[in-house]
Structure 1
Amino acid sequence: MATVEGKTTARFEPVRAALAAHIESGDELGASIAVDVDGVMEVDLWGGHADEARTVPWSEDTLVTLWSTTKTLSSLAALVLVDRGALDLDRPVAEYWPEFGAQGKQDVEVRHVLAHTSGLSGWQQPFTMDDLCDWPTASARLAGQAPWWKPGTAAGYHMQTQGQLVGELVRRVSGRTLTEFVDTEIAKRLDADVQIGAREADWPRIAGLVAPQISGVPADFDPEAIFARTLLGSPARDEHVDTPQWRNAELGALNGHSNARGMARALSVISRRGEADGFRLLSADTVDKIFDVQADGVDLVLGVPVRWGIGYALADPRTMPGMPTGTICFWVGRGGSVVMMDLDRRITFAYTMNRLGDGILGSERTHSYIRHVYEALDATN
């Protein structure tokens, strides 16, 4: 059986065994898992390799690109500003970003951006990776774009645009970039190894992602459908990851770098209703706003049912197999990384890996680890 490093309390030993089995089988290349229970890191595990050639072990401080799990950090940044009164969820985005009011977007509210209901799920083509990595260009293009559906009436996953929209709001009201804000107000305050982009000094500890082969375009692909327009208007692809351009960019929907421990430490502030280790980042009232349902139905982009709250998806058995019901919010990244905040049990679960799996919302491995965590909890409660 593969060796898994780190610690776990006795009740979560099945989680260690599951990680070891997935590494042994080759399903996992390298990965980390963390479970914070009301401020106690009961699971802090890692194993496997940081490179496809299996020459570099995944170590205690290995980082990896999070893909869309990055959005959990960007949403937390926005909520901090909501809590401080700098952002109002019910005010128009254009009050903070005047240029955004063009093309019929004058009534798009901050909550629409955080709940994927603004109608801006992708950039109008042509739009390139170079455009995406140039902050002024990417923001100006969204500001001048008309929504693809009536804002607030439906959710369509803002695959790569949400980081730009939230990041621009953060810049406008705080005077700091999203990268700076996450570093100073989240990472440092919560002692969490998380960042948007990646400092060059940290590049040696970043695990390289290994992507699955992508199947061809389906015969019924409709380039005018919301899903197709979003996909084609979201230029970041697997080949861009782990490049200097990617790591130097500020992509608040995509290029966060962390590991399970870092994500669990950062997001446990939500599971613990705003306070972590004696430091209050959010009020309990602001945390409660996350669970104000903004959309509930088949997402126009993802094609599966999602209950969207403010900044996060909410627990729903239709969305994530094996996830219990309750006061739980979460989000996932391409390939299966995830962070879940369970407020009823005051538990935060995080998983990061470098071999990307299949699945729209989490891979089979993701669902397996969630199942093992909750089976362990049920057995001891």
Structure 2
Amino acid sequence: MKKRSVDQINERIDNGEANIYTAEEFKKLIKKEDAPSFEEVDVVTCGTCGVMSGTAAILNFIVSGPGEFIRAREVYLNGVPAYAGPCPNEWLGSVDAILHGTAHSIYDDNYGGGFLLKELLEGHEIDVRIESADGKTIENKITMEDITRGQIVGSRMAFKNYTAFTNPNNEAVSSIFAAVPLEGNLSGLTFSGCGDLNPLQNDIPHNVIKEGKKVLINGAEGYILGDGTRSSAEKPNLMLTADLCKMDPYYIGGFKTGQGGEVYDTVAIPIPVLDEEIYNNLLIKDEDIDLPVADIKGRHLPLDNTNYHEMWDGHDLRPQFDDSSCDRCDRCRVEETCPTNAFKNLRLNLVYCFGCGMCAHHCRHDAFRMNTGDVDLEIDGDNVNIPIICRQSDRLRANKLSLKLKKMIENKEFKL
């Protein structure tokens, strides 16, 4: 078997001789039957973006002068509870806290840790309330400049594959897998996963994606800590970490679901093509990747199977808003249901947009144009066609971070 080392690839990068592709570029060449050979490719940068519930932030920030309170007992950031500690910071006026990306505000279930982290990175002021062990209440405002240390730790990120869900029941079902209650009678399908762009889909069984490897998390250089929680050979995921303060807010944020606010992240991982086995694994395509479809109420009860080609091929990654078709409803259904708050005051903010497709399916007057596709399934012996109404993964962000990683490697800003 032909082989080469990471040092040899790094030398080719340093000499400007390396051939580096994003997963999107590489897959397009495969589909055109024009894929570069093993000798012609050195690195493929792969990416994924989606709701990653295991995200947590470890923070230290200053809330008062020294000696004003003994230690924090309860911490709230814009009403989102964080866990004080583990270090008590006695009499220092600063607080260590752990914020869960899935934590919900005490004032609004739809606002939570993911939205808060994005706002911090964007430079917004955050309201802080501390209930101290000596009975005091400390209130202040902080920005990112007041955070002396911030670290993201994801306990379950970049999962290889998941399950699509539909609702064969008669009544609507609220779930974390749909932005609003999913209507019954097979009226729609929701799914996660970036298919053949995903790092773990391209490196089975973890030939190069190993503990200690460098990655990009939301634009910041980070590391693989090991396998994630609930990781298995069939459905692997990773535990990752990176400096929150160096992250780009475009790649992280909140995502509203039927069970309240969630958090999304974007991960990119380079795959050095060290041998022919690694190269052959990179040849996987969306149509090769099975996607089970399950009852959203049963979750583990497969109804049929499809694949990621059916989820993504030829479908739009972003909607278009036709202002002339908007009826100016007193209560805008799109503004209420948009998972990332990308549509407000008759304006579509494409920087916030996740490409989930909810707007195209919930606008009463068809003011949003977006082909999100549909899928033919056989359920209980009947052939049914189900529209794809909600994506909880974003291939556009995944592609952008993969391209950023490629350029960083080419510019010698990221060493393999």
Normalising by structure 1, we get a TM-score of 0.28
| Greater gyration radius | 2
Pick the structure with more strand per residue: 2
Normalising by structure 2, we get a TM-score of 0.26
Pick the structure with more helix per residue: 1
Higher normalized contact order (CA 8 Å, seq sep 6+, divided by chain length):
1
